[in-house]
Chains A and B, each alone.
Chain A
Amino acid sequence: MYYIYGVDHCVKLIYCLAKAHNTNLDSSSFETLRLGYLDFLDARQKKNSVNRKDDIFIRDDEAELALASSFSQASLNDLNQEHVVGDSYERSTRDAKLVMAENALSELIAKEEDLGLVFGLTIHSIFVRSYQSAPGIMASHGGSSSGSIGAIWLAVNDGITERDLMEMYVHEMTHHLLFIDELNSPQFNYEELTKKENFTTSAILKRPRPLDKVVHSIVVSTELILSRLRTFGWHDALSFHPATLDMQQSTLTAIRELESKPNADDLMSAHMLSIVADCKGALETNQLEIVA
């Protein structure tokens, strides 16, 4: 969303939420806008534990547990997603992982100030927890939940690098901006989405998943590719994400599969279809030939 539509578009999405919640919103500064957005989340998301402190990195056990609990069961959550968030790390381990996460965010902001502005408005909490290791549950690096907009979970597994974490921030911020976009303009026909016949292949995991997951994977993948082209400059596979050209191909395949569904118009709104079309347009530009 940030790379496809730009900083102003993202600010407007957040402003509309805050203004819809409070017609007397003080929008004289980004800080008061941020507080208005947090007021909205506080009032409307009952499971969300909104962090109003300056420090977005969660170091408090109780707050961490509340945020982890927001990954709850729901009709569209495939792959055991409600059970993926694991236990707390031992304190010294958690602190070391938080330092690494903080360094990665600093580096990302230093590279892309506008992204720092959008990230600072959108994300109020980053918490670090292990992933649940159990039969039937896939390994994970972190995630986000629409039940807890503004909060990012990072596993910071052994062996990952600050490059991985910088991409993870772009990845997770995109989910949150899509959640926020959906509060501005309806995206899906949810009654149809839960049906297995409407599942389609995702862009990153490349497996049949509910359509909302697939569309999110298309937008996330597009944003990651654009971030590599405009901000990072690397194109090899990292721990979480494939090489740029592989991502481009699998994302275009996912878009084509989606477009070929005869009932695509019934599953998604015209607004969401236009976002997918914009992803396709971004991926088909000549820029990617440079990578090849």
Chain B
Amino acid sequence: MSLTEGQVEKIAHLSRLGLTGAEPAEFQVELDTIVDFVDKLEPYDSSSVPPSNQVTGRTNVFRPDQTEPCPDAADLIKQSPHRDRYSVPSVRTLWKTA
């Protein structure tokens, strides 16, 4: 399949990536080439093959559900944009449809 510039802009919105200037056109060319490349998988008949999402075979790896003190909470908050608190702006256009 081929990707249009409009589709690239929609994907960018879903990815929460603001594209500017020539970026939509440039990414359209590059992503279209890569999608052509991954389309090489089409001829492989894999419909009866189970998917692999991991290789370890380990499932349901649990640990005891215990609360622990977090000694580095103050250092973690220093990594926030304001360095001393977390603040979240209002949610207005987050879910706009592209």
- The answer to whether A and B come from one shared complex is no
Task: Name A residues whose Cβ lies closer than 8 Å to a Cβ of B.
Answer: none
Task: Name B residues whose Cβ lies closer than 8 Å to a Cβ of A.
Answer: none
